[in-house]
Amino acid sequence: MTEPDLGGMSDDDLRRLATVLQQSGLSFDPVTMRKATVTAVSLAATPPTVSILLSGDTTTTIDGVRIHRTYTAPAVGDTALVIKQGKDILAWSSAAATPIGTTNYARYARTSTQNISNTVTTKGIFNVAEVTDSSTVTVSTDRDFTLVRAGLYSITSTIPWQGSNLGARWAWLGLTSDSATRYAVSTLNPNNASFPIHNFSVTRRFAAGTVLSVYVFQDTGATLALGPGSGIAPMDINIAYLGP
């Protein structure tokens, strides 16, 4: 029996050969390897999945394909090697995926003062999107930040106040829905009318869909402003996704 020349076979010939093999009494589906193009990425899925078009097919999108390297997210347009056995498909890798440093990071800031009423817990408002990455965080308002992927995050924030020698100041990172849940807290009690500055950070795992906010509180007896416009320090929040 002459062995078939697989290297010289067309795509249709290979498909017919695969059909014949499946009808030959095999107890398992043979494995085939194909090139595919990534058409969509779902980083909110656990684990992340991609949608693909197999080579030679520009109309049939296959959704929900798991990728073997979930810590390096592919990008739309990447070429992936696909392993197919029966109805099971695995995207083995990605080419030219965007490296950490230009993605997996977002930074939001404020450049003007924000008045905070006496003894009122208030969300900090970050109305300037300096670095955005919708695969890491989405922002429905300028104060509520939704973490897209489950995994390890590093979150830092700087909150400056205008000067007052009265009362105390607090700033913390908490759940948008519950200011009493606090993941990082900074307290200040200045008595020299200086411009006090909070700096706090947290590195921990969060579930996909967790919504976070920065809260502030002061009890000077009067309205007091957050002071990013003073030139003393920025007012910002930095969110970096470190991995699953």
Residue 22 confidence (pLDDT): 58
Q: Cα torsion at 68, 74, 76, 77 (round to 10°)?
A: -80
Bond before 30 cis per omega within 30 degrees: no
Residue 38 confidence (pLDDT): 80
CA distance linking residue 198 with residue 70, whole number of Å? 35
pLDDT (tens digit per residue) in 138-148 = 998 899 999 99
Q: In this model, does residue 47 exceed pLDDT 90?
A: no
pLDDT (tens digit per residue) in 215-233 = 999 999 999 999 765 556 7
Residue 236 confidence (pLDDT): 94
| pLDDT bucket at 178, cuts 50 / 70 / 90 | very high
Residue 179 confidence (pLDDT): 92
| pLDDT bucket at 71, cuts 50 / 70 / 90 | very low
Tokens standing for residue 199: 């700096």
The mean of the pLDDT values for the chain is 79
Q: In this model, does residue 168 exceed pLDDT 80?
A: yes
Q: What is the mean pLDDT of residues 118-130?
A: 95
H or E segment to which residue 14 belongs: helix 11-22
191 in Cβ contact with 169 (< 8 Å): no
Q: Which CATH architecture has domain 105-243?
A: Sandwich (2.60)
| Least confident span in 101-110, 117-126, 131-140 | 101-110
Q: Give 2's contacts (C-beta < 8 A, 6+ positions apart).
A: none
| pLDDT bucket at 39, cuts 50 / 70 / 90 | confident
CA distance linking residue 217 with residue 169, whole number of Å? 6
Q: Name the CATH topology of 28-97.
A: OB fold (Dihydrolipoamide Acetyltransferase, E2P) (2.40.50)
Domain assignments of the chain as residue spans, ordered by start: 28-97, 105-243
pTM (2 decimals)?
0.62
| Least confident span in 19-28, 31-40, 116-125 | 19-28
